[in-house]
């Protein structure tokens, strides 16, 4: 019985197959990318939740009072007569990390390409600690007690900071830092906060310890960023500022 001749694919058939594969790839690759970004955002949110647990435990050991602000020149509510001086030990994250299990790993959001460390933990000179960090704390809440913060579930304590090379900030000062950062009179083009890292949203941990994803528009639905910014707390319990220093902004004046 004669064998039937095998027929190969024609050029047109091959081109059709290639076109179908290309169309499927164009549809599926963005889906996979979004799924990957969502997974990174979930890890970031988990980190903030664990930092929130650490914050709650820290306050339990400190009479209900939040960690303090330490700087070489600027003053803290805890010590308004003289600066604490900046050390590794008194960085806000190093005040609460001992209450967590994962320690430094909690400070990095997988979606943060910059992960700029503080200058005290940038690995310089060689051999010194290198601690990448994606998060920044709200100065409106520093050194306040639980009894002073009535809207604890609405005011962000720690959120995500910019990936820019200049963004080694430990704290953000609302309302000024809700808008583009200005240094030496130069507009740096973006705020200290990373409002849009996760599909036009940022993760935040609140004073009561819970964490959630906050859309960009929610942060600035009010010019002063209320209630999440805690600006009202600054009006009630002013931050001690050196002459010439301001935390206010033209869109949210004192």
d(CA 170, CA 89): 13
Residue 247's contacts (CB-CB under 8 Å, 6 or more residues apart) are 139, 173, 174, 175, 176, 177, 234, 239, 241
pLDDT of residue 228: 96
Matching residue, tokens 């009479």: 63
Q: Residue 2 pLDDT more than 60?
A: no
What are the distances in angstroms from CA 5 to CA 2, 73, 233? 9, 87, 85
pLDDT of residue 127: 80
* For the chain, percent of residues with pLDDT exceeding 90: 72
Q: What is the pLDDT of residues 109-122, one digit of tens each?
A: 999 988 999 999 98
Q: What is the pLDDT of residues 192-237, one digit of tens each?
A: 999 989 988 999 999 999 999 999 999 989 999 999 999 999 999 9
Q: Domain limits of the chain?
A: 13-236
Strand partners, 204: 159, 212
Q: Residue 28 pLDDT more than 70?
A: no
Closest CA to 206 of 4, 53, 26, 27: 53
> Considering only 5-14, 125-134, 148-157, which range has the smallest mean pLDDT?
5-14
């Amino acid at each position: 019985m004669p064998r039937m001749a095998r027929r190969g694919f024609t050029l047109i058939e091959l081109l059709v197959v290639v076109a179908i594969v290309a169309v499927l790839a164009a549809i599926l690759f963005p889906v996979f990318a979004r799924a990957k970004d969502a997974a990174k955002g979930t890890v970031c949110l988990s980190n903030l939740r664990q930092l929130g647990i650490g914050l709650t435990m820290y306050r339990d050991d400190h009479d209900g009072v939040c960690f303090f602000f330490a700087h070489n020149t600027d003053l803290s509510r805890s010590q308004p007569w003289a600066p604490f001086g900046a050390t590794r030990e008194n960085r806000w994250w190093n005040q609460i990390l001992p209450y967590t299990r994962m320690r430094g790993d909690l400070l990095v959001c997988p979606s943060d390409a910059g992960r700029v460390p503080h200058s005290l933990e940038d690995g310089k000179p060689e051999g010194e600690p290198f601690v990448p960090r994606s998060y920044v704390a709200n100065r409106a809440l520093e050194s306040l007690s639980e009894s002073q913060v009535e809207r604890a579930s609405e005011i962000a304590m720690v959120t995500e900071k910019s990936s820019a090379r200049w963004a080694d900030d430990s704290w953000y000062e609302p309302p000024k830092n809700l808008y583009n950062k200005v240094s030496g009179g130069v507009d740096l083009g973006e705020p200290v906060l990373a409002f849009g890292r996760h599909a036009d949203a940022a993760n935040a941990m609140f004073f009561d310890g819970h964490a959630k994803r906050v859309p960009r528009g929610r942060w600035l639905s009010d010019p002063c960023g209320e209630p999440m910014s805690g600006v009202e707390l600054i009006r009630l319990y002013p931050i001690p500022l050196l002459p010439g220093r301001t935390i206010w902004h033209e869109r949210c004046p004192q």
